[in-house]
Each structure stands twice: as C-alpha cells, then as structure tokens.
A and B are shown apart, each in its own frame.
Chain A
Amino acid sequence: MSENPKSFRYTAEHEWIELRGDIARVGITDFAQAALGDIVYVQLPTIGQSIKAGAVCGEVESTKSVSEIYAPVDGKILQVNELLNSQPELINSDPYNQGWLFEISAPNAEIFEKLLSSDSYGEITKH
C-alpha cells in the first residue's frame, strides 16, 4: 500500500488533488484502487471541458465494476493522462504519480485547504 502524500488534499469520494503551481493534478487514492481491483478501462474527461465540484467527469472500471470519477473542485480540464488509455493498470501500481487522471485549473488556496488533509482522509478509510 502507498502512503497518502502529506502535501496532497483528498475528498470523501476517494480522489486526491495535488497543487502544481497554477494547475492541480487529480487522481484516485490508493484506498480506492485497492477496493476496485485490477483497473482495465478509464474514461477520461475532455480537455477544455469546464467541470463543477462534485460532478461526474469520468469512469474507472475494473473487471467486475464501474466507479465514477467526481471533480474535486470547480475548474477547467487542462490535460488528461493519455497513457492510461493503454496502461490503465498504472492507477493500481502507482496511484499518486504515474496513475494521475487529469489536470485542472488550480483552485484558490482557501478552497484547496478546505479539502481533506492526508490525516483526515486516513481517518475515514481506517478499517
């Protein structure tokens, strides 16, 4: 199991968000990938699409089930991880790095800080 990076923020829907200057990178957490099992298909949002926090903006599928991806914050899709189209298993093997899903225009610091810290997220996923 990978540790939840301390500098990231998290949502109760098991997404992470990482600030990288004026963009934010989004993915699903290690807890989420482990619960889903082998990921075999990813439906990513469209570059340029504007999304609202909480809206469905993609899908992650394992052999057995489908899980929706929710936008963690408002913003515009700037980039998607095209590598996942051919290697969706990167979400399983490296959820916080190579397995990122999309990049979005960064939220302001206040909104970012309001998301769950790594400790708070760790609490809600404790067995």
Chain B
Amino acid sequence: MESPLLLIHQSLNAKLGDFAGWAMPLEYPAPVGGGTLAEHEAVRTSVGIFDVSHLGKIEINGAGAKDWLNSIITNDLNKILPGQAQYSMLCNEDGGVIDDLIVYLKSDEAILIIPNAANSADVFGTLNNNFPQGIKIQNRHNDFAVIALQGPSSAQVLADAGLPVELNYMSFTEVDFLNEKMIICRTGYSGEHGYELLPTSGSAVKLWELLTKEVLSHDGKICGLGARDTLRTEMGYPLHGHELSLEISPVTAGSSWAVGWQKNRYTGSDRLHEEKVKGSARTLRGLLADERGIPRAGMQVKNSLGAVIGEVTSGTFSPTLKNGIALALIDSAIGIGEQVFVDIRGRNLAMSLTKLPFVSSHVRE
C-alpha cells in the first residue's frame, strides 16, 4: 500500500521510511523542509503540513452503529454529538490496548474511525469479528488520504485556501472538494492549533498542492514523520507500541481520561475498573535530562542505588527545550521532581520527573 502523495514526496527528495509497510516521508530537504529540527520549529512557530495517509480509515454504518461501537471501545460516545470526534481506545478483555484511535461521529448511524497504520488490520479484524445484523464495516485504508496541517498559522493557511476554519477543538465538518466529500477536523498530534483533512485518494494530490503552496507562503514547511514524533513526544502524547500496548493499559499510560468510567460494559472494562481501584504498579511519567544526553526507548530507569524502577518508552532530543526528554513507565511511588538515572549504554544520565506536557499545549487556542 502507498500514499497517493508518494510520487510528490519522491520528487521533493524526501527521506522515506517504512511505516507498517507504507513508504512515508521522515523529513524533507530545504527549502520545503530542512530536516526534523527545522520542520519541528515550523510547526511550533508558523505551520507545517504532513502526509499521514498511512493512518487507517474504517467506516461503520447502519442502525445502532454508535451504540454498538460504544459497547466495545473505552471512551463514551454519548459525551459527543454528531460533528464531533473523540479520542478512544480499543482494548482486549485483559484491558490491554489493541489500538488507540479517533472516532468521528457523523450521526448515530455513520461513524469513521482512524486507527494507527500498524494496527488498522487488527482493529478491522476485531470489529469485523462480531457485529450485529444491520451494521456494515468497511476497511477504507486506501480510499482516503490524511493530510495534517499543524501550527499557529494553520487556520490562516486553510482560510487562504478557501476552506472552512471555524471549528471547535475536536469538531469536524464535511465539505465538497473537487466534487468529492472531504472531512476537515480540528485535531492533530503536535500540541498546536491544527487540522486533519481527509480527501479521497483521487483528490489528494490537488489538495496537497493547494495547501503546500499556502504553507510555504506563510513561512511554513513540509514536514516528515520525524518531526511528528518529536512534536508528540514534547506533548507527552502516547504512541501505540511505545506508551500503549497489549501489555500497557490506558490506566497505566495515564490515559484514563480516554475511558468512559460511567458507562456500561465494554471490552476490557472489568479489568480497567479493577486496575483503577487497585492502582497500577507503574505510571507513565515525563523525564527531563539534568545533563547532556539523549534517552531512547527500551533503556532502563534506575534509582540512585542502581535498582531498576522503570523503562523508557520513548526518548528523543526536544528541539524546543534543546534537551533530552523521555516518556517512561516508572514505579508509581516516585513523584514529580524526583531524580532518576537512565542507563544509556552503561552511562547513567540524570533525569528528573517532570509534569507533562514538556511544552505547553495550544490545541484549544
């Protein structure tokens, strides 16, 4: 499978990487990009555009679609109205996370979900396993592109491209673009004011060309998934396979806010309630380096006596703070402000537990 924009990325000499079988841009050379640091900075200060078409797209249609899906996923769809989107999770019976996803509620009978690329087939398989009569589930992975526009100038870029911008956070609208339906949602994965657009694959190139022209004229950059990862790590946003997995529940990952605790049963609810009452042994924390060095996923976290108290789930250099940062699952008894040590190939890097996000969020501004 490939993005409908792949030829464009190749013509821009993007550095490509494999994401769940999709060749996707990691970063672009100057002048349109300029590497991960420059692309990251563009999103924090002006605007960046990303191709994230590898994300899954699954449609659920039919009478009772909302109530049925609500009986499976963790968050409560009754908290949102048609035209709104919600972050949620699909768990297994053990409370492990099959995937985290965005649910677009078009109506009580029409829903679009956006899972991660790598888990799209599992999510589709799980939903497709046991659905009631009258509901239709379609895997539309190749039928739409996903283009993310992120940064303080993103609204201006959309407006100058003639597209609607007056949307509340996590709200979406459907517009006509080249005579095809296109969803535009106030959402993203960068911590900045932003939008994700879902054109049909056939109209994606035209939309990309229209938007990139505006992005570049607003001092923005075309950004790769390298910058997307440093941006989300600065925000403390979880990435499935790192902060969330079949072994890491939403409670442990600090994502309890994506669980509808008041609602009736859903897959994994018994175990999640149990864990919430009992408390989890480890908790997802932010770590900020007290000295030079870059923590990486999989590295052990130790206390001053050298005992292992956790593990780094994501680590990088924060382009905004110019410092090493990490997300780590750490013994829940250790609190904000305490110092720990990350074992970097035998060297102990001193880091302090820090309140997340590392960089302030502007998603609602």
Residues of A within 8 A of B (CB): 37-38, 40-41, 59, 61-64, 66, 85, 89, 92
Contact = CB atoms under 8 A, between A and B. Distances in A.
B319 A85 contact: no
Nearest to A61: B294
B62 interface: no
A61 B294 CA distance: 8
Contacts of B35: 37-38, 92
A63 B317 contact: yes
A66 B296 contact: yes
B132 to A, nearest CB: 44
Nearest to A56: B345
B36 A37 contact: yes
Interface string B134-157: 000000000000000000000000
Interface bin, chain B: 10 to 19
Given A37-B15, A37-B226, A64 B292 contact: no
B27 interface: yes
Contacts of A37: 15, 26-27, 35-36, 226
B292 A38 contact: no
B226 A63 contact: yes
B36 A64 contact: yes
Contacts of B303: none
B229 A40 contact: no
A92 B26 CA distance: 17
Contact of B317 (A59, A61, A85, A92): A61
26 contacts: A37-B15, A37-B27, A37-B35, A38-B36, A38-B37, A38-B38, A40-B37, A40-B317, A40-B319, A41-B293, A41-B317, A41-B324, A59-B345, A61-B294, A61-B317, A63-B37, A63-B226, A63-B229, A63-B230, A64-B26, A64-B229, A64-B316, A66-B294, A85-B292, A89-B37, A92-B35
Instruction: Give 9 nearest A-B pairs by CB, closest first.
Output: A40-B317, A38-B37, A38-B35, A63-B36, A61-B294, A41-B294, A38-B36, A63-B317, A63-B230
Contacts, number: 41
A50 B243 CA distance: 41
A59 B230 CA distance: 20
Nearest to A42: B292
Interface in B32-61: 35-38
B247 to A, nearest CB: 24
Interface in B1-50: 15, 26-27, 35-38
Nearest to B35: A38
B294 A40 contact: yes
A64 B319 CA distance: 12
Interface in B103-162: none
Contacts of A41: 292-294, 317, 324
A38 B36 CA distance: 7
B233 to A, nearest CB: 10
Interface string B284-299: 0000000011101000
